[in-house]
Amino acid sequence: MPSVMRGLAAVLPALLAACAGSPAVPPILSLDGRPCVARPDLAGAQALALDAGNPIKLDLDAGAACLEPGGGGRSAYVAFRLPRSEQPYLLTVTSAPLGDTLFSPRLMLLDEQGNVLREVPRDEFMAHGVALYAGLRAAPAERYLIVASDAPSVGQHMSHIIGESHVTPVPIGIGGVAIINSGSEKQQVITYAHNGRVTVSAQPIPKAN
């Protein structure tokens, strides 16, 4: 085997591993049996900085807190303490897939006393490829963010087309290699769930251009 081919053979698995998607995580479709609270616990809220370079990325899993308001369904949730700011700022929440599992998000914005000032339902999230994204202008009075799962949509499926590019080394002559590009598609079926990966960030509202 020519040395170039041996080199490619050695490097290819590492490259493929680097390009592989996030690890497979089974979807959590029910919160039955989990202890739940009627109001979100704000004492343990994670502090979010007003800094685009410091987003908080976390995985909601079987240990996530559970919210069950009177007359409402159960939701997994996480609370964030929002930064102090005299001006409105950009608050973004992204739910990205873990394997084929996607946290189905909705948001609540609370004041200092924990009263709900605003809600962002699941259908106001926009698709960013396979991920779901919400960007909003947070007001100074909004002091806490609750990212909660949207129980009605949990268990639903969504099919996505994923484009893939392939690079195939083909030996030509003695020691020569031609790189052949090709492309294909695959279907990814996503399941909306009570678990998944969420990234939250706060930053000054960007200037256009």
- List residues binding another protein (CB under 8 A): 88, 90, 126-129, 131, 133, 135-137, 139, 159-161, 163-166, 178-185, 205-209
Which of 115, 209 has the CB closer to another protein? 209
Q: d(Cα 176, Cα 185) in Å, to the nearest integer?
A: 29
CB of 146 to another protein, least distance (A): 19
Which of 72, 135 has the CB closer to another protein? 135
Distances in whole angstroms, Cα of residue 64 to Cα of each of 25, 89, 98? 15, 28, 16
Which of 6, 128 has the CB closer to another protein? 128
Strands (E), the chain: 46-47, 56-60, 65-67, 75-81, 89-96, 101-103, 105-110, 116-120, 126-128, 131-138, 144-149, 157-172, 176-193, 196-203
CB of 64 to another protein, least distance (A): 27
CB of 136 to another protein, least distance (A): 5
CB of 71 to another protein, least distance (A): 28
- Give residue 83's region: left, alpha or beta (phi > 0; psi -120 to 50): beta
Q: d(Cα 125, Cα 123) in Å, to the nearest integer?
A: 5
Which of 34, 160 has the CB closer to another protein? 160
CB of 33 to another protein, least distance (A): 35
Which of 115, 168 has the CB closer to another protein? 168
